[in-house]
Structure 1
Amino acid sequence: MKQTTAQRMAMMDAGLNLIAQALSIYDEDLRLAACNARFQEMFSLPPQLVQEGASFADTIRFIAEQGDYGPIDDLESFVQQRVDQARAFVPHYVERQRANGHVISIEGAPLPDGGWVTVYTDITRTKRVESLLRTRSEELSDQVLSYTEELSATNRKLAATITTLEETKRQLTQTEARTRLTTEMMPAHIAHVNAEGVYTFTNGRLSTVFPGRPSDILGLHSSEALGPAAYAKIKPHLEAAIQGESPVFEFTEDQDSRRLRVAFTPDQQGGAFILSMDVTEETQTRVALQQARKREIAAQMTSGLAHDFSNLLTIILGMQTKLGRMPLPEGAGPLVEATLSAARRGGRLLDRMAEMTSHRGLRPQATDLHALLEEMKILATPSLPQGIGLSVLDNTGEGRFLLDAGRLQDALLNLILNARDACGPTGQITVAAHLVGQTWIEFSVGDTGPGFSPEALKNALNPFFTTKGQEGSGLGLSMVYDMVKSAGGDIRISNTVSGAMVTLRLPYRLAPMASGGLALLVEDSDDLRMTYRQILMDLGYSVIEATSVDEAVALVNDVAGIALILSDIRVEGSATGVDLCQRLGASAPPLILMTSLPPADPLYRAALALAPVLSKPFERPQLLALLQQEGEHA
């Protein structure tokens, strides 16, 4: 039956505790990684000094205070000297007499990845035998033989124990290396804190989850590593974990407004293990899915009602039109016109409702925000009175972003027109755009009008709520809300010292510079295939793979929508990348060959006559440049 890690660790602990010698292992930061029970017994150490993460300096200080090193004039200087010697990680063997009269040998050996393992052996009996041999040599004919035999037996046992310790050391080193490698590869921060909230373990990925924080946090208190704002949000849950609970919670980090999820698991010594993950994209996707579900429910509810109302409005319009052609009493004409106007307004409302609940989702594409905002200003300016100014503050930097440009521009124009109506004949409208870290693209539309009333602040995003009376439908902000939520973003309305402000946040998604789509990668080396797959994915492609020409041709015939083929010239089987080009013909998707053959090789020249060729090794910039070049020639 396969053993679990916990079972293996328990067996290892049991084995270490059976060894007669004391054993300690400290890591490169002079923190205790492992020890056996004999280590605690030999030096009468308190429990906190034999727990994982205990300080080497604290242990030396305790042993020195017990008198093991004899009289010491300056304790702190002595401890620092020992710490400095330990940091040298030099193999050593010493013998010394303890305060209790026992003599011990101390043998230390460095570990491959830093730190060291030390074996402590009580050699009091051996020293006594040596003393007897020196002082009573004339009387020891029989006793010398007896003690010599005893000493030889002891040495044999010691040699066997040392061999066992060396194997244990090797296994511990290997296990620690595997465990650390596994934790460092995970896209999350994994750590352990003791009961005081001090980090005793970390996989070094705090800065990838909490932007701007340090990675080397061993020995730091949680408040120092995380900062006061984040620690204030985490502290109640950490305290609960130290009390034995297992809280899991999410919060928004202040620096880049990223959404983080933190899980605590208590240990058996009053500390806690911590798993922290960045769930910003997951949260954005969840918001978008929730909005899509709401739209689906709204469409189901309104489609039947809209059909019936449409029929009723058609009847009303028809009847009122007929009435308008008849001779009517004085004063009836305006009533007919008012009825017709109300019916037509109802028809426009039905159209807006149908647009909001339609199945047309967002269509994100690579968008130049500078061009979009400039065009928006050109479109909006003619609709503003001469007394109203429009300013656009564009701080979005370089690069293209994945956005539905049409719906975003419609939303901003809608907000500008609302601001115009709020300002009256004079005022100022300001549209600002900037990046919030690499998490959000934030747009704000502010005006110098009277601001939102308390009722509007509460209900402005509700469908059909309007402050414009008969002039408004109440669907403008609702449609903006729908666009933002469908993208996984957020919308806030507020008042400023000068007027009203509407703020939109859309997820930060850099558009890949290549065209993207589905790519077929043909490569028979597992390691190279993994490398090139990642390069293609970084350029925005989804990737399917083949190892031979026959397999590649079958995929091209069976899978629709392949936008790019990247193939090695020499692949599995007798057919080559040149054969692949010839078998696919002129109707094939765009194809790029790659090879480590020299340019003078006949196969290289044959390939170059059929398709672009990349020389191995190459990286993403070289492939991107070739794709852009091919796009310009297409």
Structure 2
Amino acid sequence: MRITEQRIKAMTTAGLNLIGQALSIYDSQLRLVLSNRRFQEMFDLPDALVQPGALFRDTIHFLASRGEYGDEGSVDDMVEVRVEQALAFEPHYMERERANGQVISIEGAPLPQGGWVAVYTDITSAKRAENLLRARSEELSGQLLTHAEELSATNRKLAATITALEEAKRELTEIEARTRLTTEMMPAHIAHLNSEGRYDYSNRRLSSVMPGRPSEILGLHISEALGANAFGRVSAHLQNAYNGKTSVFEFTEDQDSRRIRVSFTPDGAGGVYVMSVDITEETQARVALQQTRRREMAAQMTNGLAHDFSNLLTIILGMQSQLDKMALPEDAHALIAATQKTARRGGQLLNRIADMTGHRTPQPKATDLRRLLEDLRIVATPSLPRGVGLSVVNTLPEQALMLDPGMLQDALLNLVLNARDACGTTGQVTISAHAIGDIWIEITVSDTGSGFSSEALEKALNPFFTTKGSDGSGLGLPMVYDTVKLAGGDLNLRNTPSGASVILRLPYRPAPPAQEGLVLLVEDSDDLRGQFRDMLIDLGFSVIEATSTDEALALTENVEGIVMVLSDIRLEGTATGLDLLSQLKSRLPCILMTSLPYTDPLHRQALAMAPVLSKPFSKAQLSALVRTEAA
């Protein structure tokens, strides 16, 4: 039967309450973690000072005010002296006589993670026997022997108790150290909130899940640690947890739009356990996979219809061609020409549908987005009326990014032409690009036209919806939407005070470096690993090799200077190249390779995480992904 953490805590507390000595454990911030009933009884402490989280300073102030330490000066001075001694976390043993005549020994020992444990023992009887020996040494009678026996028995009991306490302290220290080490290794923030919403435990990973937040958050209220905006997103779920209901949810935090999954779990004693995970990359992969599945379903539904419709258009064009050769009135020839034009337009529409539902796989490569946008401005400007201007505002870092430049440029050109139509003969079209942290690239195409109607805002991404009448196919924006989703991004439409904006958000993936530095090659086939090693060396890299995810992770931890990872998807063992990418602590540029077909779920998921080379590939193809010229 599995013993729950709550039951273990209850059993530990019950065991400590049976010990004759008083015991207290304070953390590195001098807040009470645990004490037994004897601790409260020995010093006659109020309930508030024996609750977890009670301050050591408050307890000392209470005792000093009551005369516990005699007349050593002002209460505040006595408190400060003892607080400073406690913060030193040094082992100590001392004996002192209390104001009520009781004599106690105090033994303190520091804990590995900060704080200390103290054991208080009533040694009044032992001291009385010692004093009796000194005062009546000449009367070593039965009374002395009796006290000697009592002292001997007391010492034996004390020794046994101390041994038990030391073992309990050792076990508690080991359990605490193992628990903290385990939680600190996890790629998630794990914490506990007390009944007031303040952190009394944290694995110090908040800043890695939500950059910009502090790592040392013990004692902070959750609203202080997360910030007002993020706390506003989670407060309702947190309240549900305090009401006894487990809550698991996702939200997008404002600082760099990371997607965070949070779990709030009641602890049954008034507090809440917290686990937060950054699932941004998982969300991007999920979005790309969902779009691929939608496209496959659409392809299955439309391929048969498109085939039959194409045959009908072919028959119509053939019949119209025969009619055109006949001696018919001039008006009839005009109708024949219009019919042929419409049929050809139907054929073009079929081609557009095939593009949307067919096999469109992003081919990301190192792309200078600044140059791409400038080239787009040069290409698109001649298609604009004289009264319509086109400008580019680019604040992206000067860094090559992994993008499919062809698909992206086609999508942006489509949006520019739509903006041109919205502006009419005069107006302004603006393309702006910036980074959101190191998570997203955001590209906005805005215009000074009339804006989207409420119907267009709702339906513009639906295939065949158009506001251009017979001049529009209704496939332009859906094609752009498809392009963005295949890359793991998102698209939004909105009106602005001066017109309309279409916002593309794409994953921010830095390109691998130029041909220099150390590459980690992860491949479990000896023959293939040798081929790929030779390719990389020919391209100017040094190479270090691994055959499994565990081996590769160990190398990234212990070998400095790795600038890129080239990994197969299927590896030795159960873990895959996708697991390797997910567990890499640093954001190393990565390229995946595989012989899996495109229809394999792992292949599709990989496309949303990193560039993928299909085996077999040439040195020139590998070179293109690492920004070198083909050899």
Q: TM-score, normalised by structure 2?
A: 0.81
Identify which range, 506-515 or 475-484, moves more after superposition: 506-515
1:70 to partner: Cα distance: 5.2
The residue number in structure 2 matching 1:532 is 555
1:446 to partner: Cα distance: 0.9
Report SS of the residue matched to 2:107.
Answer: strand
The residue number in structure 2 matching 1:263 is 263
Alignment of 1:152 onto 2:152 = yes
Change over 3 Å in CA distance of 1:524–1:461 after alignment to 2:
closer
Flag the structure with more relative contact order, 1 or 2, with Cα contacts below 8 A and sequence separation at least 6. 2
Q: CA RMSD in A?
A: 3.5
Alignment of 1:164 onto 2:164 = yes
The residue number in structure 2 matching 1:613 is none
The residue number in structure 1 matching 2:582 is none
Change over 3 Å in CA distance of 1:340–1:289 after alignment to 2:
same
| Equivalent position amino acid for 1:541 in 2 | L
* Residues 436-460 of structure 1 deviation map (CA, whole Å, 9 limit, x = unaligned): 1111100011111122122222221
Report SS of the residue matched to 1:540.
Answer: strand
Instruction: Check conservation: 1:320, 1:336, Cα contact below 8 A.
Output: yes
Alignment of 1:293 onto 2:318 = no
Change over 3 Å in CA distance of 1:589–1:22 after alignment to 2:
farther
Identify which range, 518-527 or 422-431, moves more after superposition: 518-527
Q: Give the Cα separation in 1 of the matches to 2:17 and 2:263.
A: 33
Q: Give the Cα separation in 1 of the matches to 2:547 and 2:476.
A: 56
Instruction: Check conservation: 1:522, 1:545, Cα contact below 8 A.
Output: no
Q: Give the Cα separation in 1 of the matches to 2:158 and 2:504.
A: 73
Change over 3 Å in CA distance of 1:103–1:560 after alignment to 2:
closer
| Equivalent position amino acid for 2:173 in 1 | T
Identify which range, 510-519 or 372-381, moves more after superposition: 510-519
| Equivalent position amino acid for 1:400 in 2 | A
Instruction: Check conservation: 2:513, 2:563, Cα contact below 8 A.
Output: no
Alignment of 1:238 onto 2:238 = yes
1:27 to partner: Cα distance: 2.4
The residue number in structure 2 matching 1:542 is 567
Q: Give the Cα separation in 2 of the matches to 1:142 and 1:454.
A: 104
Report SS of the residue matched to 1:118.
Answer: strand
Q: Give the Cα separation in 2 of the matches to 1:156 and 1:106.
A: 18
| Equivalent position amino acid for 2:33 in 1 | A
Q: Give the Cα separation in 1 of the matches to 2:47 and 2:404.
A: 61
1:104 to partner: Cα distance: 2.0
Change over 3 Å in CA distance of 1:225–1:64 after alignment to 2:
same
| Equivalent position amino acid for 2:224 in 1 | E
Identify which range, 317-326 or 289-298, moves more after superposition: 317-326
| Equivalent position amino acid for 2:555 in 1 | Y
Report SS of the residue matched to 1:331.
Answer: helix
The residue number in structure 2 matching 1:457 is 457
| Equivalent position amino acid for 2:269 in 1 | Q
* Residues 271-297 of structure 1 deviation map (CA, whole Å, 9 limit, x = unaligned): 111000101111111111111111011
The residue number in structure 2 matching 1:597 is none
* Residues 455-497 of structure 1 deviation map (CA, whole Å, 9 limit, x = unaligned): 2222211111112111111100000001111111111111112
Instruction: Check conservation: 1:514, 1:539, Cα contact below 8 A.
Output: no
Q: Give the Cα separation in 2 of the matches to 1:377 and 1:526.
A: 44
Alignment of 1:57 onto 2:57 = yes
1:115 to partner: Cα distance: 2.0
Q: Give the Cα separation in 1 of the matches to 2:475 and 2:98.
A: 86
Identify which range, 265-274 or 138-147, moves more after superposition: 138-147
* Residues 563-605 of structure 1 deviation map (CA, whole Å, 9 limit, x = unaligned): xxxxxxxxxxxxxxxxxxxxxxxxx999xxxxxxxxxxxxxxx
Change over 3 Å in CA distance of 1:71–1:271 after alignment to 2:
farther
Q: Give the Cα separation in 1 of the matches to 2:355 and 2:550.
A: 50
Instruction: Check conservation: 1:380, 1:413, Cα contact below 8 A.
Output: yes
1:414 to partner: Cα distance: 0.5
Q: Give the Cα separation in 2 of the matches to 1:461 and 1:633.
A: 39
Change over 3 Å in CA distance of 1:272–1:95 after alignment to 2:
same
List runs of 5+ in structure 2 lacking aligned partners: 524-528, 530-543, 573-592, 596-616, 620-624
Alignment of 1:507 onto 2:532 = no
Change over 3 Å in CA distance of 1:193–1:498 after alignment to 2:
same
* Residues 193-240 of structure 1 deviation map (CA, whole Å, 9 limit, x = unaligned): 101001101111111111211111111111111111111111111111
Q: Give the Cα separation in 1 of the matches to 2:630 and 2:343.
A: 55
Change over 3 Å in CA distance of 1:312–1:49 after alignment to 2:
farther
Q: Give the Cα separation in 2 of the matches to 1:360 and 1:523.
A: 33
The residue number in structure 2 matching 1:593 is none
The residue number in structure 2 matching 1:401 is 401
The residue number in structure 2 matching 1:280 is 280
Q: How does 1:28-177 map to 2 (within 5 A)?
A: 28-46=28-46, 49-64=49-64, 68-69=68-69, 75-98=75-98, 100-134=100-134, 141-177=141-177
1:327 to partner: Cα distance: 2.6
The residue number in structure 2 matching 1:466 is 466
* Residues 56-78 of structure 1 deviation map (CA, whole Å, 9 limit, x = unaligned): 22333444455544579854554
Identity %: 62
Instruction: Check conservation: 1:105, 1:120, Cα contact below 8 A.
Output: yes
Report SS of the residue matched to 2:342.
Answer: helix
1:179 to partner: Cα distance: 1.5
Report SS of the residue matched to 1:362.
Answer: coil
List runs of 5+ in structure 1 lacking aligned partners: 547-558, 562-587, 591-626
Report SS of the residue matched to 2:408.
Answer: helix
Q: How does 1:333-352 map to 2 (within 5 A)?
A: 333-352=333-352
| Equivalent position amino acid for 1:485 in 2 | K
Q: Give the Cα separation in 2 of the matches to 1:345 and 1:203.
A: 63
Q: Give the Cα separation in 1 of the matches to 2:109 and 2:494.
A: 66
Instruction: Check conservation: 2:200, 2:218, Cα contact below 8 A.
Output: yes
Q: How does 1:487-526 map to 2 (within 5 A)?
A: 487-513=487-513, 519=523, 520=529
* Residues 307-366 of structure 1 deviation map (CA, whole Å, 9 limit, x = unaligned): 111111112222222222223346333322222222111111111001100022212222
Instruction: Check conservation: 1:436, 1:442, Cα contact below 8 A.
Output: yes
The residue number in structure 1 matching 2:430 is 430
The residue number in structure 2 matching 1:314 is 314
Instruction: Check conservation: 1:264, 1:275, Cα contact below 8 A.
Output: yes
The residue number in structure 2 matching 1:600 is none
The residue number in structure 1 matching 2:247 is 247
| Equivalent position amino acid for 2:24 in 1 | S
1:531 to partner: Cα distance: 4.3
Instruction: Check conservation: 1:514, 1:540, Cα contact below 8 A.
Output: no
Instruction: Check conservation: 1:26, 1:33, Cα contact below 8 A.
Output: yes
Change over 3 Å in CA distance of 1:58–1:334 after alignment to 2:
farther
1:180 to partner: Cα distance: 1.3
Q: TM-score, normalised by structure 1?
A: 0.81
| Equivalent position amino acid for 1:442 in 2 | E
Q: Give the Cα separation in 2 of the matches to 1:461 and 1:482.
A: 9
Change over 3 Å in CA distance of 1:527–1:308 after alignment to 2:
closer
Q: Give the Cα separation in 2 of the matches to 1:97 and 1:351.
A: 96
* Residues 253-306 of structure 1 deviation map (CA, whole Å, 9 limit, x = unaligned): 011011001101111320111000101111111111111111011001111111
| Equivalent position amino acid for 2:83 in 1 | V
Report SS of the residue matched to 2:425.
Answer: coil
**Number of paired residues?**
564
Q: Give the Cα separation in 2 of the matches to 1:477 and 1:19.
A: 74
The residue number in structure 2 matching 1:416 is 416
Report SS of the residue matched to 2:154.
Answer: helix
Report SS of the residue matched to 2:450.
Answer: coil
Change over 3 Å in CA distance of 1:539–1:498 after alignment to 2:
same
| Equivalent position amino acid for 1:311 in 2 | N
Change over 3 Å in CA distance of 1:312–1:62 after alignment to 2:
farther
